[in-house]
Structure 1
Amino acid sequence: MSTRPEGEHGSIAVEFAILVPAFLLLIAVAAVIGRQTVAQTAIEGAAHDAARAASISRTADTAQNRGNDAAKSVLDAQGLHCDPVTITVDTSQFARPVGQAAAVTATVSCSVAFSDIAIPGMPGNRTVSATFTSPLDVYRSRS
């Protein structure tokens, strides 16, 4: 004798067939959003550190090198592997005379790949970027 109500035979298989793909899609979308959030945080940190490292330098050439190195260091420490990574450190305001306000701006952009997360209709990669500006000391010599 069966304890199931009449008309309930096999309904769990249908529910399973409908809900499992939807659940897997939800997990994949969460993975994409998570990866993008982690990448955005790492890129923002890299831009911040690049601008800060450049702003405490004495010359524009040194600032450029230190900014690039700082950004690469942050991205390596975060384990973020992007292709391509673009690091731009604007040191043009080093030419301003001492006593005038000046700043260094660093922009970091990175193409984050989602190709290992197979979701139909999702893009294969997305470019994430961040910009940060750090002031130069108004009364410190620069060249």
Structure 2
Amino acid sequence: MELTLLVPALVLVLGLLVAGGRLWFARTTVAEAAQTGARAASLARSPRVAASDGRDAAEASLATAGLRCGTTSVQIRTAAFGVPVGTPATVTSRVDCRVPLGDVALPGLPGSIALTATGAAALDTYRSR
């Protein structure tokens, strides 16, 4: 008798743990992609190349992790390339990813969740820009 009451509760708790873990993985993946994009952009020599390299690196990071976004937006801010050499400057990135709940929690679950992360990486202070 007690087992018939306990098993559904344990299955529900287990399902919630799995869904929470998958949501944590998705958030961590988006944060890592933002940081990867900023780092790749900080290694470039010009703002145009930095924006392209950063965007490509962030999108590759999402793809490598296996996170499927319904919509993805990667923005690289390269204003730091306009700062004079010898002055500290930072390149930033922002990754927005709308993940279907069916991929994160339960298959077939309608809706989606918007995940956003930012990353930053310093430009080499004494490198020519």
**TM-score interval, smaller chain:** 0.7 to 0.9
Amino acid aligned to 1:78: A
1:109 Cα offset (Å): 2.1
Name the amino acid aligned to 2:81.
F
Residue 91 of structure 2 aligns to which amino acid in structure 1?
V
Pick the structure with more helix per residue: 2
Partner of 1:77: 64
Corresponding residue number in structure 2 for 1:43: 30
Which residues of structure 2 form unaligned runs of 5+?
A: none
What's the secondary structure of 1:115's corresponding residue? helix
Greater radius of gyration (CA): 1
Unaligned ranges ≥5, structure 1: 1-11
How far is 1:15 from its partner? 4.5
- The aligned amino acid for 1:46 is A
What SS does the corresponding residue of 1:112 show, helix, strand or coil? strand
Report the CA distance between 1:25 and its aligned residue. 2.0
Task: State the superposition RMSD in angstroms.
Answer: 2.2
2:88 to 88, 93, 101: 101
CA distance in 2, matches of 1:32, 1:60: 40
- Give me the whole-angstrom Cα distance separating, in 2, the residues matched to 1:75 and 1:105: 17
The reply on whether 1:112 has 2:99 as its aligned counterpart is yes
In 2, the alpha carbon distance for the partners of 1:64 and 1:19 equals 54
Contact 1:36–1:112 (CA<8 Å) still a contact in 2? no
Say if 2:54 is the partner of 1:54. no
Distance in 1 (CA, whole Å) between partners of 2:63 and 2:120 is: 22
1:124 aligns with 2:119: no
Give the Cα–Cα distance (whole angstroms) in 1 for the partners of residues 6 and 100 of structure 2. Answer: 28
Residue identity opposite 1:128 in structure 2: L
Structure 1 99/91 Cα, relative in aligned 2: closer, same or farther at 3 Å? same
In the TM superposition, what whole-angstrom CA distance separates every residue of 1:76-116 from its partner, at most 9, and x where no partner exists?
11111011112111111211121221110011121222236
2: distance between equivalents of 1:34 and 1:84?
A: 22
One-letter amino acid of the counterpart of residue 122, structure 2: P
Query: Would you say the 8 A contact 1:105–1:133 is kept in 2?
Result: yes
User: Percent identical across equivalent pairs?
Assistant: 38
In the TM superposition, what is the alpha-carbon distance from 1:65 to its structure 2 partner? Answer: 0.3
Which 4+ runs in 1 deviate beyond 6 A?
Answer: none
TM-score, normalised with respect to structure 2? 0.86
Letter paired with 2:20: I
